[in-house]
Amino acid sequence: HENGVIHRDIKPQNILIDENGDVKVTDFGIAVARSSTTITQTNSVLGSVHYLSPEQARGGIATEKSDIYSLGIVMFELVTGRLPFSGESAVSIVLKHLQAETPSPKAWNPSIPQSVENIILKATAKDPFYRYRSAREMNEDISTALDPERVNEQKFMIPADDEEPTKAIPVIRESLVSAGLEQQTIVYEEKKEEEKKETKPKKKRKWIVWLTALFLFLAAAGVSAVTWIPDLIFPKEVTMPNVVNEDYDEAVEKLSSLGLEIKDTIDVEDDEIAEGKVVRTKPEAGMMVKEGSAVIIYKSIGKKKVEFGDFIGEDIETAEAQLKNENFMNVTRNER
């Protein structure tokens, strides 16, 4: 980016990880459309529709912030397992990139820290003004996303009173809309003749330098987004321990040491488990749960207590019947 080279087609298919965990960005400067979901503009490829920035969709000039937008879409897919915008055709997807705000990743993965969602929302802001100024700035933000003081930070919001000016959108030909899913290549109005001139041979050497510089910056952001974030965002699983018949305080300590949260404690009567000990838990022992999961403990308050009636003056048979009706089974007579 520092050398003025824009990738223009950042997507998971162009990010490779080798056996050593090193991340490499590929497919620089592609010249022709290589898939049915690639938008072209008169002899130049602008990018894949699912990861296309709004300015590219409008037929505008791609900048460093266009790559940042695409990387933000990759991060959204990484932490949610889905794309933020989908549709029946390339046209409908492009229109969503132009008009719809990026949905909240936490809607599909509530375990994502607010700081991580903020990185994605900032990177995919419709107006480039509100995105990161550089890939380096985005990488620095990613490196501190899991700091304790940032986990519950305020949600990233675009100022409501700052309206974006009206912008012209290039005409999309009707033939494309009728093509449906079988034809998903958008062709914009032809560029000016001077813009279509071939690059002079003497610029080829500079191209290699630009590619190297772009690789270094995008690889740094790619390493964080592809390899570092998933390990920190998604909590590991633990086996729910068996704390039945253990003292309540000891059970709480054991569960907390595994990273589980005691959501509630419910007192229950139990004829077998002594008062103050654990009767059962929810989830039950042996189940696999994620760290941070909520646990409900059912604590014994001892055997059921009932009010003993006054049978003085009652007939013996009547008194025995009433006692047995109250579940007093070992009733004996002691006549005086």
Q: Please, which residues have CB within 8 angstroms of residue 309's CB and are 6 or more apart in sequence?
A: 322, 326
Rounded distance, CA 17 to CA 266, Å? 49
Q: What is the enclosing helix (H) or strand (E) of 210?
A: helix 204-223
2, two tokens: 């520092």
Packing angle of the helix pair 64-80, 114-123 (nearest 10 deg): 140
* Exposure of 151 in the CB half-sphere (CA atoms within 13 A): 8
Q: What is the enclosing helix (H) or strand (E) of 68?
A: helix 64-80
Rounded distance, CA 80 to CA 107, Å? 9
**Beta-strand relationship, 261-268 and 294-300:** parallel
Catalytic residue among 9, 67, 162, 310: 9
32, two tokens: 């022709």
Residue with tokens 């915008």: 85
Q: Is the distance from CB of 67 to CB of 8 less than 8 angstroms? A: yes
Residue with tokens 């109250």: 326
Q: Is the distance from CB of 186 to CB of 176 less than 8 angstroms? A: yes
Rounded distance, CA 271 to CA 276, Å? 13
Q: Is the distance from CB of 292 to CB of 113 less than 8 angstroms? A: no
Q: Residue 314: what residue type?
A: E
179, two tokens: 């093509």
Whether 22 is catalytic is no
Residue with tokens 């100022």: 159
Rounded distance, CA 179 to CA 185, Å? 9
Q: Which are the catalytic amino acids? A: 9
